[in-house]
Structure 1
Amino acid sequence: MSANAEITGVPSPEDAARAEKFKEEANEYFKNQDYNKAIELYTKAIELNNSVAVYYGNRSFAYLKTECFGYALTDASRAIELDRNYVKGYYRRAAAYMSLGKFKLALKDFDTVTKARPNDKDAKAKYSECSKIVKKLAFEKAISVEENKKNIADSINLDAMAIEDEYTGPKLEDGKVTLKFMQDLIEWYRNQNKLHRKYAYKILLDVKAWFMAQPSLVDIVIPDNSKFTICGDIHGQYYDLLNVFELNGLPSETNPYLFNGDFVDRGSFSVECIFTLFGFKLLYPNHFFMSRGNHESATMNQMYGFDGEVKAKYTAQMAELFTEVYNWLPLAHCLNNRVLVMHGGLFSRDDVTLQEIREINRNRQPPDDGLMCELLWSDPQPQLGRAPSKRGVGVQFGPDVTQKFLLLNGLDYIVRSHEVKNDGYEVAHDGKCITVFSAPNYCDTMGNRGAFITLNGKDMKPNFTSYVAVPHPNVKPMAYANSLLNFIC
């Protein structure tokens, strides 16, 4: 903005014209799905002329696309402040609230939209859908207060589930997962078949028992000269998961893996991903590890597709059982007392110890703040110190925060996931904070590579393997997601 504009708050005609050009250019990048470049150009437009609601509204939409829900919320609110009649501002803010699971606030904005556009069928449909969610949540809350909710796991009767003669798929042997079962399952799923519900339920019950016995922070010993692999987000991209196994070998006692959260949602083969991963957990319980991600939660699963996919392929009861299992997933893993791995990141205070993480009561839905929330939601930033999260949950932490945490706990570096990176990984904070993301061409739109990390127990030095997406059957991402999110992904 020119000096005159800064003094008066009104841009010069030249600045206003340049801002419009930046907006038009940004719109083109947005259409081509280059959301980060679009955000950069919308920001330039705002710097030249900060009084146009559309600039903030458009940037809010781009932030929604990049999952920066906190920033999207702020921009949408600013757009509404500038123009109370800017209906798209309410739409954007409602989408941000929905993405954060704040359904009552989203409903209020959808209500505003329907009043402003009484004949808009889309607005009416979104209001109606959001209203249903709010009522359903209120009903569930009332029920859980009235009665002490029983475990779904306790109500499953496996004996009552018959295996039909025509079922020719993988079979557990004496109720146990074997290597043959896993090899058969991989091929069965590759050909888009469904595992029998009796075996699916058995896997869930058994894996729940395993996770219940683990602490919130799991210690892993990697012997000298032994390889260990860390994978980031998979997000229901089953055929890319198989590609990881083809590039790096199937899990085994000599080829251990840690999958670092967000196994499901968005990608429409989440059921196949999670049963494959849980199967390997049961086959190699001491050599296959899984951390909880922010998408292993009921709210995220209801919005981003997993809940809908389980109901479509199995039952609502199984969807509830998954929620129970996810509540017991460990929150972090410590490798050789040197490297801490968690899905999101570090904390809003400097004195957090490994012992404190170990003692977290994790058998619940992720809270909106505190250590458990931050482990699942936080992100690194290049600047020193901390900042409010771009996602609206967790915190952003700088290199100094990372350094203090490592010093306090005697660690070398941290590994986290949670963020799309062009190469599938990023090394930040002077090599002390590594991001790994294993879902290439995320949502079939981002064009990113995926990656995994291999290291050996002797030097614990991270090595990166980066790869592109492989073809998958013609089922689009978000096929099972809540219809309210159709305009986000």
Structure 2
Amino acid sequence: MSAEDLKNQGNKALLSGHYNDAVDLYTQAIELNPQSAVYYANRAQAHIKNEAYGVAIEDSSKAIELDPTYIKAYFRRAVSNTAIIKHKDALVDFKKVVQLAPGDNAAKQRLNECQKLVRKAAFALAIAVEEGPALSEQIDLDVVKIDNNYDGVKIDDGYDENDKPVFTVTQKFIDDLVERFKNGKLLHLRYVYAIVVGAIKLFKEEPTMVETPVPEGTTTTVCGDTHGQFFDLLEIFKLNGWPSATHRYVFNGDFVDRGSWSAEIAILLYALKLLNPSFIYLNRGNHETDDMNAVYGFEGEIKHKYNERTFKLFSESFSALPLAHLIGGAYFVVHGGLFSKDGVTLDDIRAYSRFSRKQPGNSGLMMEMLWTDPQPENGRSPSQRGVGIRFGPDVTEAFCKENGLKGVLRSHEVRMGGYEVEHNGKLVTVFSAPNYCDSQGNKGAYINIGHDLEMQFNVFDAQPHPDVKPMAYSNRLMG
């Protein structure tokens, strides 16, 4: 089979959503003809679809080396740099795209959007000063009045001793909230503020690593990324039961972005936290961050459905989220994975001050907990994402041995079967957004852990949802 035949088969695999197959086919084409810029650029597109932005940048750069006028290669490198929040690098390539295609209005729009992101980052840096009171402490709920025609359940309970409004979330309110969201209605802004402000207070009271036992007669469920797929979240609760005194939940980050019901998921999870704080716990993921929200949709969605102040409140809440959970003293639950150096202990994580740094940045313990991925080979290597590292079975084994753990539970990556047991059984990846972005065809999964600390894996299918596409509110650079 010729290189061109392999490329054509790769194109078909890419269009049908079989991204790993596309990568393999393009790789075979490159082996036969390593001088084709098209093959590298096409493989870059398959890597982009797999969120392997680091290697997409490498392939795009190779394509540019072979053909310095190849517009698609510059564009794909720009998109990849945008995806990992390297906007200045992306800006250089978007300018080149416009230079090569001066009549392309879509390219000009993307250049304009990228310039806005660069200016926004520069402005934020320029005005960075010692902070005053947090926004959650400044919100005056009394000025946000309930309209007479609001048809939802109300939770106003009068005032406390400091003349502040009191809100007590009830099961009736939760039931009404779910029905409102299923029917495309919004929650009143007064209640959105109250829920997020209340959740912030609870998160700030929790340690960086929350330790939850699994008493006899109880179950703890660990869910992976839900990414704004609200109707699939409801399916988990339908199949597995709602949070209760005998059934705790840990949501392992990335509950926002990409899917177009991120607001609904965040509000529901926060409301459940207020209903019974010890029944549900949330970890921070790499998408509970300002830079990712600006690109992948949560910021745009919240501003569209509510307002900018609501997004800033959510941003404050994300900075307060714990970074890890320890279930039954046996399972370390973290969104991304393990560390770039040996010897990190649970005591190091317990002692880590997550409030000293609101955003994870490009290095350090928080970034690694949110961004790293496993690899099948021993040792460590650069991440295919272009951020963080990859770690091998020996790293997981050493971490578990040093800290007396049965295993590490993480999320952060699609698994076609919903979950995957890796690293000689010491590492499990669980992903809870089936048919991710309406395109991947994967199952969703969640893990139930009982008092005996054995894991039970549960797989489920994607559910129908209203005709709103994923990434509907994302920055147009990622369109």
> TM-score w.r.t. structure 2 length?
0.96
One-letter amino acid matched to 1:161: V
1:166 aligns with 2:160: no
The answer to whether the Cα contact below 8 Å between 2:196 and 2:317 also exists between their aligned partners in 1 is yes
Q: Which residue of 2 aligns with 1:106?
A: 90
Distance 1:257 1:237 in 2: 17
One-letter amino acid matched to 2:324: A
Distance 2:64 2:365 in 1: 33
1:150 CA drift (Å):
4.4
SS in 2 for 1:92: helix
Q: Which residue of 2 aligns with 1:243?
A: 235
SS in 2 for 1:256: strand
Alignment of 1:36-185 (within 5 A): 36-145=20-129, 148=131, 150-174=133-157, 175-185=167-177
Cα gap change, 1:246/1:358 in structure 2, threshold over 3 Å: closer, same or farther?
same
1:255 CA drift (Å):
1.4
One-letter amino acid matched to 2:473: Y
Distance 1:151 1:46 in 2: 54
Q: Which residue of 2 aligns with 1:4?
A: none
Distance 1:304 1:95 in 2: 12
SS in 1 for 2:354: coil
CA offsets per residue over residues 334-391 of structure 1, 9 Å max, x none? 0111110000001111110011112222231012112111111111111111110011
Q: Which residue of 1 aligns with 2:460?
A: 467
1:274 aligns with 2:266: yes
Q: Which residue of 1 aligns with 2:332?
A: 340
- Percent of pairs with identical residues: 49
Q: Which residue of 1 aligns with 2:280?
A: 288
- Between the two proteins, the alignment pairs up a number of residues equal to 468
1:303 to 295, 301, 304: 295
2:370 to 376, 381, 385: 376
Cα gap change, 1:118/1:405 in structure 2, threshold over 3 Å: closer, same or farther?
same
Alignment of 1:356-367 (within 5 A): 356-363=348-355, 364-367=358-361
SS in 2 for 1:396: strand
One-letter amino acid matched to 1:291: N
SS in 2 for 1:250: coil
Distance 1:334 1:79 in 2: 45
SS in 2 for 1:327: helix
Distance 1:38 1:204 in 2: 43
Distance 2:42 2:14 in 1: 9
CA offsets per residue over residues 139-175 of structure 1, 9 Å max, x none? 2221224x64542223211011111110011322521
Distance 1:170 1:385 in 2: 54
Q: Which residue of 2 aligns with 1:7?
A: none
One-letter amino acid matched to 1:384: N
1:190 CA drift (Å):
1.1
Distance 1:56 1:225 in 2: 55
One-letter amino acid matched to 1:40: D
The answer to whether the Cα contact below 8 Å between 1:20 and 1:45 also exists between their aligned partners in 2 is yes
CA offsets per residue over residues 308-352 of structure 1, 9 Å max, x none? 010011111111111111001000000111110000001111110
1:188 CA drift (Å):
1.5
The answer to whether the Cα contact below 8 Å between 1:302 and 1:481 also exists between their aligned partners in 2 is yes
One-letter amino acid matched to 1:463: Q
The answer to whether the Cα contact below 8 Å between 1:216 and 1:332 also exists between their aligned partners in 2 is yes
Distance 1:303 1:451 in 2: 26
SS in 2 for 1:244: helix
SS in 1 for 2:127: helix
One-letter amino acid matched to 1:285: P
1:282 CA drift (Å):
1.1
The answer to whether the Cα contact below 8 Å between 1:170 and 1:195 also exists between their aligned partners in 2 is no
Q: Which residue of 2 aligns with 1:194?
A: 186
SS in 2 for 1:333: strand
Distance 2:278 2:301 in 1: 30
Distance 2:140 2:478 in 1: 35
RMSD value over aligned CA atoms?
1.2
Distance 2:208 2:131 in 1: 25
Alignment of 1:400-419 (within 5 A): 400-419=394-413
Alignment of 1:189-228 (within 5 A): 189-228=181-220
2:472 to 452, 473, 479: 479
Distance 2:120 2:368 in 1: 28
The answer to whether the Cα contact below 8 Å between 2:226 and 2:255 also exists between their aligned partners in 1 is yes
The answer to whether the Cα contact below 8 Å between 1:263 and 1:274 also exists between their aligned partners in 2 is yes
1:262 aligns with 2:254: yes
1:398 aligns with 2:387: no
CA offsets per residue over residues 374-412 of structure 1, 9 Å max, x none? 111111111111110011111111111100100011101
CA offsets per residue over residues 400-425 of structure 1, 9 Å max, x none? 11001000111011100111111110
The answer to whether the Cα contact below 8 Å between 1:42 and 1:58 also exists between their aligned partners in 2 is yes
One-letter amino acid matched to 1:165: N
Distance 1:335 1:107 in 2: 44
Q: Which residue of 2 aligns with 1:385?
A: 379
The answer to whether the Cα contact below 8 Å between 2:383 and 2:390 also exists between their aligned partners in 1 is yes
Distance 1:377 1:129 in 2: 25
Distance 1:139 1:249 in 2: 46
> TM-score w.r.t. structure 1 length?
0.94
1:437 CA drift (Å):
0.5
CA offsets per residue over residues 73-120 of structure 1, 9 Å max, x none? 111111112221111111011001100111111111111111111111
SS in 1 for 2:349: helix
Distance 1:215 1:49 in 2: 55
Distance 2:38 2:104 in 1: 20
Q: Which residue of 2 aligns with 1:444?
A: 438
1:47 CA drift (Å):
2.0
One-letter amino acid matched to 1:265: D
Give ranges in structure 2 of 5+ residues lacking alignment: 158-166
SS in 1 for 2:424: coil
Distance 1:328 1:256 in 2: 20
Give ranges in structure 1 of 5+ residues lacking alignment: 1-16
